[in-house]
Structure 1
Amino acid sequence: MIPRNLRHLRAFHAAVTRGSLSGAAQVAGVSQPAVTQSLRKLEEAAGGALLSRTGQGVLPTERGEVLAARVARAFARLDPALAEIAPKLPGRVTLAQLRALMALGETENFTLAAGQLGLSQPSVHRAVTRLEQEAGQALLERRSHGIVLRRPARALVQAARLALAELDQAEADLAALDGRAAGQIVVGALPLARSALLPTALARFREEHPGQSLKVIDGPYDTLLAGLRRGDIDLILGALRDPAPIGDVVQERLFDDRLCMLAGREHALVGQAGLTAEGLRDHPWIVPRAGTPARDQFNAFFAGVGAPERIIESGSVLLMRELLRGSGHLGCISAMQAEAEVQHGLLVTLDVAVDWPARPIGLSCRADWVPTRAQALLLTILRETAAG
């Protein structure tokens, strides 16, 4: 693993940008032998030489260029947030201080933050106190329900998370140079993606990249979006939002989907043609959760007669299938998501007098995200699977 020692990484970054160890020592504020020692430790962890010594100074090796690119991106995220708090802070902050602040921001309690980090409560308290002393200002507010971060501290935590994500990706990039897999690809999957697209794509990805660790997280869109923006999730696959939710997230359309309305095979409405909103309003329904594009289209269908009152919210096609088969409920869901249930005769598509608008399905990523080789392969496979 690449050491998360910010001083060592700054020394390496300075050596690359300055082209000399003496220049790196000047930037880092340490002796040249100290820089040499830091770089030696970094090279041992990186699995090979990072710098080539020449008569004119130092140049990055191929391995060094890979790491330098990620380190530069990490500090480009972190340093502006530090400098906004105090100009001297970029050169003084430690990872222990940042992790303590990050944990405190999540838990709003020193004891809980200490438990999350596996440290003692006094250790976490000292780290945050020292950070406030270096910053020359309070970063916390103590309220009745706990401790909250002030705005500059919240911005710093966000920047620190993304900076650490860049270092995680650096490890994957370096491993790829040696033909190894490292790190974990994390996909946020919305309901349609989990049932219709992602399984096929992941099976193909596993054949081409058997050693890569993968993690799929499901949940509400807002939760996945927060994880994406923090750097905890690499990409989200599912229904796109119009407009895009925020400027630091970009969306890529892969294909279009449409809604359908479903019933169990024995339901009285099966076989009736041209069903209208007025005729469907008084039935009990299971529908996507409020705020999703699918739910917005469902509500728009009933806009002239009033929304149904008996509603269960869920994006699970399995729950919908069992509920519709055993009761008089109706369901509204993605046609692609329900395709297997309809093909196997478990559910029946109702003939409804509506021309459902197309819903774009695709990828959501951070705007300036640079994927690793394995992540880029997964993106390619997702695009090709969707096209097919």
Structure 2
Amino acid sequence: MQRTLRDTMKMHHLRDLLAVAEKGSINAAAKYLGVSQPALSRSVRELEKEMGAPLLERQATGAALTPMGNLFVRRASTAMNELRRARDEIQQMQGSVHGTVVACVSSMAHLTLLQEALGTFVRRYPNVVLRVIEGVFPTIDARIRSGQVDFYVGPAPESGTAPGLQLEVLFATRRVVLARKGHPLAGARSLAQLTEASWVTTSVTSQAEREFAGVFSGRGLKVPKLALQTESALSWITAILSTDMLVMVPEQWLGSPLTNDLTVPIPIEETLAGAPMSLVRRSSVPSTPASEYLCDLLRRAASRLDVAA
């Protein structure tokens, strides 16, 4: 009788191929999983036989996915993430406080929302592993759609979201220009006085140069030099403290203990609108109770910011 995928494909086959894809070699994947290299190679061969196509290309320096392997890994990754989420959801619905929540949180969301929500979440789910990735939407889009990341909190993507994702606006933002204390342009009163400076951008789109240039060109001004692009707060803080670079950041950074004693806002007359703070997650898949609880805590923190504003 002809075998079917349902009859022969097992969870460890998916796990093993995903480990090789992540680690870049069978040897490294075997060490990571705690299995022997021959056993892992056999598992991959069994899966390739089942699929009727080579999934890995063995190379002297490791192993690379074939085109068919890339297609399979995208589907397998989503399936494994959904199985993890289903397990966590069932256990949490039964009263367990175990599981994993993976969130991508922008630097401003760390500062304004996560620091308020984190303590309450940890007390409610002390044994849930919370994995927090710092970043902005373009760096995390595909991982949300595949289920590797449960949700994103940060500046809303300029071009919206792909089908299958839902975007919830949490609060509006404005931007300010920050410089190190003692900066020669600290007394400037308009953007026109800042066009000769070098800048850092904390872009929230995949086209940082266009996003940055629009702030100036839209006002008929010369576009200044963009010296550094980063999604990391630590990177732009380091840059403006060690150089004469300037940065545009949400006004919530004013008064932050991370920068308050070292930076000053440049009091320009222009109002700089910022991307609204948003929550993005998949629309077709329910969140686990722990993930939903954390999202609700972040919403509450955001609503208090709106009232304060």
Q: Give TM class, smaller chain.
A: 0.7 to 0.9
In structure 2, the partner of 1:13 is none
Structure 2 residue 129 is matched with structure 1 residue 213: yes
Structure 2 residue 300 is matched with structure 1 residue 384: yes
Aligned counterpart in structure 2 of residue 112 of structure 1, from 12, 25, 28? 28
How far apart, CA to CA, are the structure 1 residues paired with 2:166 and 2:72? 22
- Structure showing greater radius of gyration is 1
In structure 1, the partner of 2:159 is 243
In structure 1, the partner of 2:195 is 281
What 5-or-longer segments of structure 2 have no aligned partner? 305-309
Structure 2 residue 220 is matched with structure 1 residue 311: no
How far apart, CA to CA, are the structure 2 residues paired with 1:163 and 1:139? 17
Aligned counterpart in structure 1 of residue 244 of structure 2, from 315, 328, 339? 328
Shift of 1:359: 0.9
How far apart, CA to CA, are the structure 1 residues paired with 2:42 and 2:236? 52
Shift of 1:93: 0.6
Amino acid at match of 2:166: V
In structure 1, the partner of 2:213 is 299
Amino acid at match of 2:20: L
How far apart, CA to CA, are the structure 1 residues paired with 2:61 and 2:204? 29
How far apart, CA to CA, are the structure 1 residues paired with 2:122 and 2:230? 30
- String of CA shifts for 1:344-374, please: whole Å, max 9, x gaps: 5643222324332341211121232211222
- String of CA shifts for 1:298-326, please: whole Å, max 9, x gaps: 32123344433362334454555565456
In structure 2, the partner of 1:59 is none
Give 1 or 2: higher helix fraction: 1
Amino acid at match of 1:269: L
Change (3 A) 1:323 1:185: same
Contact 2:137 2:205 in 1 (8 A): no
Amino acid at match of 1:176: Q
Amino acid at match of 1:169: R
**Matched residues, percent identical?**
27
Give 1 or 2: higher strand fraction: 2
How far apart, CA to CA, are the structure 2 residues paired with 1:147 and 1:327? 43
Secondary structure of residue in 2 paired with 1:246: coil
Aligned counterpart in structure 2 of residue 361 of structure 1, from 277, 287, 295? 277
Shift of 1:386: 0.8
How far apart, CA to CA, are the structure 2 residues paired with 1:148 and 1:325? 42
In structure 1, the partner of 2:65 is 149
Aligned counterpart in structure 2 of residue 160 of structure 1, from 63, 68, 76? 76
How far apart, CA to CA, are the structure 2 residues paired with 1:361 and 1:170? 29
In structure 1, the partner of 2:95 is 179
Shift of 1:107: 3.5
Amino acid at match of 1:153: G
TM-score normalized with structure 1 length: 0.67
TM-score normalized with structure 2 length: 0.81
How far apart, CA to CA, are the structure 2 residues paired with 1:350 and 1:218? 27
- String of CA shifts for 1:15-37, please: whole Å, max 9, x gaps: xxxxxxxxxxxxxx9xxxxxxxx
Shift of 1:253: 1.5
Structure 2 residue 175 is matched with structure 1 residue 259: yes
Contact 2:114 2:298 in 1 (8 A): yes
In structure 2, the partner of 1:37 is none
Name the Cα RMSD after superposition: 3.3
In structure 2, the partner of 1:101 is 17
Structure 2 residue 49 is matched with structure 1 residue 121: no
Contact 1:189 1:219 in 2 (8 A): yes
Structure 2 residue 75 is matched with structure 1 residue 190: no
How far apart, CA to CA, are the structure 1 residues paired with 2:76 and 2:108? 32
In structure 2, the partner of 1:90 is 6
- String of CA shifts for 1:266-294, please: whole Å, max 9, x gaps: 33433443x133x2122233332584688
